[in-house]
Amino acid sequence: MPKSSNISLGDNGPLVRVKWLDAVNERRARRVCIKDPSEHLSYCETIGEMTVSDTTATVITYHYTDCDGTDFICLPTAWIVEIQELEWKDKE
C-alpha cells in the first residue's frame, strides 16, 4: 500500500456548497424562450473544499487520493449564484 502524503480535503479551505449556472448547448430544440432566456441555463450544485477564489475564478476540490491526485472544478466566479459554508464532521 502506498505511503499517505497526509494531504486531505479541508487542508486548504472551507467545505462549501456552491450553486452556479452553466451554459447549455441545445440541439433540435423546438423553441427558444424569448421572454426568459435564463430558462435555458443549467442550474448546478457542487460540494467540496473551496481551495482558491478570486474575482475571475473559483476552484472547488471534491476528490483527493494519493494514487490519482486531486479532482476539482474551476468555475468562472461570475457564474456563481450562492456559496454556503458547511461544517466538517469529525474534522481534526
Of the CA atoms within 13 Å of residue 13, those in its CB half-sphere come to: 16
Task: Detail the DSSP E strand segments found in the chain.
Answer: 15-22, 42-53, 57-65, 69-76, 80-85
Q: What is the pLDDT of residue 90?
A: 72
Domain residue limits, the chain: 15-85
pLDDT averaged per 10 residues in sequence order, the chain, 92 residues: 60 92 90 91 95 96 85 96 90 62
Report whether 23 contacts 35 (CB < 8 A).
no
Tell me the sheet residues that pair with 20.
44, 80
Q: What is the pLDDT of residue 19?
A: 97
